[in-house]
Structure 1
Amino acid sequence: MKKVLVTGSNGFLGQKVVDLLAKKEQYDVIAISKGPNRNPNQVDYAFFQVDLSDRTKLTDFLAEHTFDAIVHTAAVTSVEACEADQVACQILNVDLVEYLASYCKAHQSQLIHLSTDFVFDGKKGTTYNELDAANPQSEYGKSKYASEQVIVQSNCHYVILRTILVYGINADPNRSNLVLWAKSKLSKNEPIKVVNDQWRMPTFVDDLAYACQLAIDREAQGIFHISGSELMSISEAVYKIADYWNLDKGLISEISAASIGQAENRPRHTGFDLTKSKAELGYVPTSFIDSLAIIDQQFKTFGR
């Protein structure tokens, strides 16, 4: 049995990772988050309320446990929030990661760290592999790339999972993403504006959670790209969402990234070469349409 710590367990991915691992006999799962546990599923794992920005409390908590793996999902992920408060971004996205990497090195624990396509500038014009040079264009992207560097330099046993535009559903009604936002607005017959000149390979959150498990199971090491396998513009994704739920596509207006100030701080074109993840992790992404069918069923499961 492997003892696994999941940070940011109240978060979108954090809840998914806890739910996935807790139901499997081979894991002893401990979840931590800054606030009280918001996951309706509170069985088969232990939860502790720990503020990751309070180094003393975090150190005290870690001193009481030894983990085989840490799945670190907590981060400031908003581009705008990182721009507005670069100090807070540095503390949570870089300094904390450096501390966890040092802990993992000292205790021979595996660190599974989440990163982003925003470490790239989006100018390559085709998919990025793990060896392509990073060139982040935003404070968020720079902080995530810096976190990757401190992990590599720590010489701990690490897995860095870079991902793209994560979507899906969990039990938290306050959590939103591209799919939930578009479906909600269009279901209410509300018009929406969608960027048509940024291209991504959207990632189903259930796939990303499973990739975290695969990294632990295979005791993987290194950087891996995790995303869907279908490249599409943001607007194309929204049209697919509308089609799946038979919603009015006439409510969708296409706009440019520049018109809403997102041309410079977000890459224009990112997509991942998944060859390494498929070969070394056994990762197989769910198709976009199949994931919408799963989400449709999960609406009922989560009572939403």
Structure 2
Amino acid sequence: MKTILVTGSNGLLGQKITEKVLAEGRVNLIATSRGGNRYPSKTGYQYAEMDILDPLQVKSIIKQYKPDAIIHTAAMTNVDTAQANKDLCKQLNVDAVQTLISLCEEKNIQLVHLSTDFVFDGENGPYAEDAATNPLSYYGESKVLAENLLKSSRADWVIIRTILVYGITNDMSRSNIVLWAKGALEKGVSINVVNDQWRMPTLAEDLAEACLLAVEKNAKGIYHVSGKDYMSIAELVQKVADYWGFNKSIIKEVSSVNLNQTAKRPMKTGFILDKVVSDLGYNPHSFEEGLAIVSEQITIRNK
């Protein structure tokens, strides 16, 4: 059984990987994140505090646990924050990746790196893995810089690009598109939603499965991993309203230019999933199935 080390294990994807490993075995897990462990169950895996901005600490932890693979989920993912704070974004999304690459090269560790649809300009979506990158925001640019470091390295690397990850954990410290929409609709107050940006939202459980499959199958190269349903953000919010029976008349559709977001977003991304399906056996849930899974988890959490 392989030993995998996960960075950013307190985040949504990190917690879903922990959840899967505890339910299914499959690998030995070393969960790492900054600060204390926020996952509710503390047994069945090992946890180590690790700040990915501290190269000496990262080196020490990797030397101690000797993983066969690292799944690197830790990153700055807020697009507007990244635009406003480029220095910190570069440290988290580029410099930390270089630290991991150097250690993985030295110790022959597979590195599974999470990237994004925001590496594309949104002119020609849905995209295959070999499409040319052309980011519109600094967040996207930082992810392209990290991808290029991997491509030019001697490391055994996998890049998993994904789109609009959603789901719920016990201690949601950060929201995501589905939880934001549900929370806003519950309040019954009018909300503005863009109708000219198109995506393929990704259930966190599906992304966690793809990460584990990449390790188990010794994957190499770039993989596009998302949900299978292509929709506008407005359509996504409408579907959330339909699922939970909220009033849809409070959803006000607007164009991107009217939102005044700090960073520019690509209009139409989306992925062609043929490669990850054929190579890794990836089989994502539909968006409605994903909402049902989230709803069930919310019910359990609220008991």
Give the Cα–Cα distance (whole angstroms) in 2 for the partners of residues 25 and 166 of structure 1. 24
What is aligned with 1:274?
273
For normalisation by structure 1, the TM-score amounts to 0.96
Moved more, 241-250 or 252-261: 252-261
- C-alpha contact 1:19 1:41 (8 A) present in aligned 2: no
Q: Aligned equivalents of 1:70 and 1:23: distance in 2? A: 20
Equivalenced residues, count: 303
**What is the rounded CA distance, in whole Å, between the counterparts of 1:64 and 1:195 in structure 2?**
47
Structure 2 counterpart of 1:230, one-letter code: D
Query: Conserved in 2, the CA contact under 8 Å of 1:257 and 1:263?
Result: no
1:263 to 1:51, Cα distance in 2 relative to 1, 3 A: closer
Q: Which residue does the alignment assign to 2:25?
A: 25
Alignment of structure 1 residues 89-100 onto 2, 5 Å: 89-100=89-100
Aligned-residue RMSD, C-alpha? 1.4
Alpha-carbon separation, structure 2, partners of 1:88 and 1:200 = 27
Distance 1:224 1:62 in 2: 25
Identity %: 47
Corresponding residue for residue 183 of structure 2 = 184
Query: Mean Cα displacement is larger for which, 30-39 or 260-269?
Result: 260-269
Partner of 1:220: 219
Residue type of the alignment partner of 1:72: H
CA offsets 1:266-292 (integer angstroms, 9 cap, x no match): 100001000101000111110001111
- Give the match for residue 253 of structure 2: 254
Deviation of 1:264 after TM superposition, in Å, equals 6.3
Asked if residue 169 in structure 1 is aligned to residue 134 in structure 2, the reply is no
Deviation, structure 1 residue 58: 1.8
Which deviates the most, 229-238 or 36-45?
36-45
**1:231-272 deviation digits (Å, cap 9, x = unpaired):** 110000000000011100011111111112249611000010
- Is residue 4–residue 28 contact of structure 2 (8 Å, CA) maintained in 1? yes
Amino acid across the alignment from 1:299: I
The whole-number CA distance in structure 1 between the counterparts of 2:302 and 2:218 is 36
Shift of 1:82: 1.1
Contact 2:80-2:261 within 8 A present in 1 as well: no
CA distance, structure 2, for counterparts of residue 97 and residue 21 of structure 1:
24
Q: 1:14 aligns to what?
A: 14
Task: Output the amino acid matched with 1:277.
Answer: V
Alignment of 1:2-81 (within 5 A): 2-81=2-81
| AA matched with 2:46 | A
Aligned to 1:106: 106
Q: TM-score under structure 2 normalisation?
A: 0.96
**Which deviates more, 161-170 or 171-180?**
171-180
Moved more, 211-220 or 173-182: 173-182
Aligned equivalents of 2:292, 2:24: Cα separation in 1: 24
2-structure distance, mates of 1:298, 1:115: 26
Residue 115 (structure 1) aligned with residue 102 (structure 2) = no
CA distance in 2, matches of 1:178, 1:236: 12
